[in-house]
């Protein structure tokens, strides 16, 4: 049986990656879609595992060749989901998580109406700011750009099927794992489904 396509979106710093890592460790039927980006690697990031790091010219060639399921410009860099790999994983019976921002999530929703859409946010924008500051991966200018984008993203949260408010970490990890198991078990019906808030 083909796996489910699962989009996890929400502001930068909300904790998407943290919750996705917990779900990948706990649920063997899940796979992670490795995105391509023109953003430079952060210390510790590995090409092919965290991202496929491309130059802008290479990324634009991939766009022309139709290799992306979705792509978007975010905070001055390009990000995109290579489509072929996603379909290979789905055909192998795995459910595939896309960790992507809002413009990309909307594209996936249009192109793959059977995708399940999950929104992750921090309990407040102030807490989101604290997390981004604590992660210390952004310049102050980039951090402000990400928080500006976060305001628009939070305003769009009703476009999603499920929402996880990532407040207390252990509780959110448990909610994410439970939700992933529930999605994997549920039949693929296409279109929107009843949104049980996580």
Ligand X SMILES: Nc1nc2c(ncn2[C@@H]2O[C@H](COP(=O)(O)O)[C@@H](O)[C@H]2O)c(=O)[nH]1
Sequence ranges of the binding site:
10-17
Residues 6+ apart with CB under 8 A from 158: none
Residue placing its CB nearer to ligand X in the complex, 81 or 128: 81
* Contacting ligand ATP within 149-168 (CB under 6 A): 166
16 near ligand ATP, judged by CB under 6 A: yes
What are the residues facing 117 on neighbouring strands?
A: 7
Residue placing its CB nearer to ligand X in the complex, 1 or 55: 55
CA atoms within 13 A on the CB side of 125: 12
Strands 36-37, 30-32: pairing kind: unpaired
Strands ordered across the beta sheet of 116-121:
30-32, 95-99, 5-9, 116-121, 162-165
* Contacting ligand ATP within 107-136 (CB under 6 A): 131, 134-135
Q: Compute CA 130 distance to the chain's CA centroid, rounded to the nearest angstrom.
A: 20
Backbone region of residue 13 per phi and psi (left: phi > 0; alpha: psi in -120 to 50; beta: other values): left
Under DSSP, the state recorded for 44 is T
> Contact residues for ligand X (CB under 6 A)?
12, 16, 35, 39, 70, 72, 74, 79-81, 99-101, 103-104
Q: Report, in Å, the least distance between residue 185 CB and ligand X.
A: 26
Q: Report, in Å, the least distance between residue 49 CB and ligand X.
A: 13
Instruction: Break the chain down into helix, strand, coil percent, rounded to 5.
Output: 45, 20, 35
- DSSP H or E run through 169: helix 169-185
Q: How many residues bind ligand ATP (CB under 6 A)?
A: 13
From the list 38, 112, 172, 180, which residue makes contact with ligand ATP (rule: CB under 6 A)? 172
Q: Report, in Å, the least distance between residue 194 CB and ligand X.
A: 26
Residue placing its CB nearer to ligand X in the complex, 148 or 186: 148
Residue placing its CB nearer to ligand ATP in the complex, 62 or 137: 137
Annotated binding-site residues for ATP read 10-17
Q: Report, in Å, the least distance between residue 167 CB and ligand ATP.
A: 6
Interface positions with ligand ATP (CB under 6 A): 12-18, 131, 134-135, 166, 169, 172
């Amino acid at each position: 049986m083909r796996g489910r396509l699962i989009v996890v979106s929400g502001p930068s710093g909300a904790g998407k990656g943290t919750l996705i890592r917990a779900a990948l460790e706990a649920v063997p039927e899940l796979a992670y879609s490795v995105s391509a980006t023109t953003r430079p690697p952060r210390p510790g990031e590995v090409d092919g595992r965290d991202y496929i790091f491309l130059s802008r010219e290479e990324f634009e060639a991939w766009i022309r060749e139709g290799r992306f399921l979705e792509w978007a410009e975010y905070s001055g860099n390009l990000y995109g989901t290579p489509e072929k790999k996603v379909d290979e994983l789905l055909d192998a019976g795995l459910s595939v998580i896309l960790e992507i921002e809002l413009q990309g999530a909307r594209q996936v929703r249009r192109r793959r109406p059977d995708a399940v859409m999950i929104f992750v946010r921090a309990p407040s924008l102030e807490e989101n700011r604290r997390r981004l500051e604590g992660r210390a991966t952004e310049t102050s200018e980039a951090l402000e750009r990400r928080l500006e984008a976060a305001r628009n993203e939070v305003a769009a949260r009703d476009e999603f099927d499920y929402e996880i408010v990532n407040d207390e970490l252990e509780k959110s990890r448990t909610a994410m794992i439970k939700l992933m198991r529930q999605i994997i078990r549920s039949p693929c019906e296409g279109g929107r489904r009843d949104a049980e808030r996580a």
